[in-house]
């Protein structure tokens, strides 16, 4: 006996599931490059937003300061980041990506974009245009709201 097909979930649920499933595929690319998703995210934040102290990076990444301290220590040992004196606070340090860390961010980012681009390239131009319009309309959903950073 064949299963009765169920109706598709409501659109908000479809979008949620899409984000979850695509996110999993993108995290797989992090892992293939030898990075945990947390390492890639922190490293990409530093690459695109510039040096930060551990507290700033922890707040941006929405993790505790002790968790970011451990992550930064491990990334420093792996040669992905380096510590520099903070010019604004002689007692503090700022962390920044090394050349190796920047190259890894670029390689992983390129692979992730290629995954999406390959799929989009298979779509008809009209459908690609519709996808662009939908993502444009939803862009603010991904932006922090209120007191989020």
Residue 129 CB neighbour total at 10 angstroms: 11
Q: Looking at residue 1, what is its pLDDT?
A: 66
* 143 assigned to some structural domain: no
Q: Is the pLDDT of residue 120 over 90?
A: yes
pLDDT digits (tens, 9 = 90+) for 18-36: 999 999 999 999 999 999 9
Q: Which domain holds residue 55?
A: 33-137
Q: Please, how many CA atoms are within 13 Å of residue 19, restricted to the half-sphere of its CB? A: 10
* 57 assigned to some structural domain: yes
Number of domains forming the structure of the chain: 1
**Residue 86, class by beta-carbon neighbours within 10 Å (0-12 exposed, 13-18 middle, 19+ buried)?**
middle
pTM for the structure as a whole: 0.84
CATH number at residue 112: 1.10.10.10
pLDDT digits (tens, 9 = 90+) for 66-106: 999 999 999 999 999 999 998 888 888 999 999 999 999 99
Q: Give CA–CA dist 6/73, Å, rounded.
A: 49
């Amino acid at each position: 006996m064949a299963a009765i097909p169920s109706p598709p979930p409501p659109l908000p649920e479809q979008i949620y599931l899409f984000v979850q499933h695509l996110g999993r595929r993108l995290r797989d690319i992090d892992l293939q490059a030898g990075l945990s998703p947390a390492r890639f995210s922190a490293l990409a934040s530093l690459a695109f937003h510039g040096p930060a102290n551990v507290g700033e990076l922890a707040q941006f990444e929405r993790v505790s300061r002790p968790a970011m301290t451990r992550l930064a220590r491990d990334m420093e040992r792996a040669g992905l980041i380096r510590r520099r004196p903070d010019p604004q606070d002689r007692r503090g340090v700022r962390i920044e990506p090394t050349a190796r860390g920047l190259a890894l961010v670029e390689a992983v980012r390129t692979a992730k974009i290629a995954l999406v681009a390959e799929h989009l390239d298979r779509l008809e131009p009209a459908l690609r245009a519709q996808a662009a319009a939908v993502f444009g309309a939803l862009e603010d959903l991904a932006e922090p709201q209120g007191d989020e950073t």
